Amino acid sequence: MSYMIKIFRIGIFAVSCASFAFGQARRSNEDESRVGQYTLPEVLKCLDGSPVTTAEDWTGKRRAEVLRLYEEHVYGKTPTTPKLDAQVLSERADALGGIATRRIVRLRMKDKPAWEGVDVMIYIPNEAKRPVPAFVGLSFGGNHAVSPDIDVSISDRWMRPSQDDTVRNNRATVRSRGKEANRWPLEMILKRGYAVVTAYYGDIEPDHTQGWKDGVRGALAEKGADTVWQSGEWGAIGAWAWGLSRMLDYVETVDALDAKHCAVIGHSRLGKTSLWAGAQDERFAMVISNDSGEGGAAIMRRNFGETTKIITTSFPHWFTPKYASYSDNAADCPVDQHMLISLMAPRPVCIGSAEDDLWADPKGEFLSGLNAQPVYDLFGLQGVSVKHHPAVNTPVGDVVRYHMRSGKHDVTDFDWQRYLDAADAHFKK
């Protein structure tokens, strides 16, 4: 198959998925009175029926059980890999008008040269005391879309189609420069004393059904072109989460960064990714989910907004195949997303929602945080601190924090102010 035909078919599939999702969105439930009754799985009951009554019971037994259930039924199991080799591509001490040092480093596997690696961009505030804590997260558009610095190279990797000419023929155009700067307010973050560590998620694996062939999943598995991924094997969310952990590996080698105080952050599908990364990798000291919805922070058993059926039809490559089997019978799934939030305990978690983002089910996102409280209770820690979904623009919580801001599906300065406040509270005691 020629390269252009391959790209054409991938583009047609992406358009078909978008059309399906749009059609399903018009039929999805956005009426709270139609959600119906459901029962959440018991997070404090082991598979053998024994109760979890202490923090030791959780850390010594039940946590591992819950993690394995997520591997088997939702995201798939991440393989063990060695740390990646790092090559510094550039470094600039006067970035962003002199307030930061910027380094771009390529992480690769020597024995897997077919995978091109991931280009990680790091901004470190020049005036902050060293070492500094950091926010670690992936972007949708590449480093050049995050940074306003015009000397950051435009990514040449595969990208999802866009409607605004920022992506043409699945490649970024010059119009994409700075496109995500509003979602990554670098100056605000740096002036609060935090570093930013980010990379393009498509460097790890391109976001389409056949993306694994050019991504890390294909490189590690060495599967053939006609491979069918089996239940229990990792999907793209697992691959992207793996990439976040490899970025943290590198942070641990940088003297100017405080690797013990890093928050993993993500928005939308990358919010699902940050949750799964935080669940697997307890080195992340705080976990942030912004508008992550179905497959992220939202309760899957709620018939509201995007559903398991919709997401596994539109984006089957994100999850292990087993997850799709719960499309019409969510009650049979042995986990729900309050259990995912529970896997972060006793670490702090921030869950952000948007009032107009009904597709992501803001109330369902809140309920996951609320129903993780029994695990935080084991550690004597206070979670969201309220029983009912709070009013818009009214942040709540302590170790588990939640807010629903006004507006649409996005990451705003209001969101970042909440996450920075949480980092201050837990990292700067």
Residues acting as catalytic residues: 268, 409
Contact 194, 187 (CB under 8 A): no
Query: SS3 for 229?
Result: coil
Alpha-carbon separation of residue 420 from 27, 133, 184, 401, 416 (angstroms): 37, 11, 12, 12, 6
How many Cβ atoms sit within 10 Å of the Cβ of residue 178?
17
Contact partners, residue 355, CB within 8 Å, separation at least 6: 362, 392, 404, 405, 406, 407
How many Cβ atoms sit within 10 Å of the Cβ of residue 282?
12
Output helix, strand, coil percentages for the chain, rounded to the nearest 5. Answer: 40, 20, 45
The DSSP letter of residue 271 is H
CB-side exposure of 189: number of CA atoms within 13 Å? 29
The vertex-425 CA angle with 424 and 429, nearest 5°, equals: 90
Annotate 20-57 with b (16+ C-beta within 10 A) or e (fewer): ebeebeeebbeeeeebeeeebbebeeeeeeeebeebeb
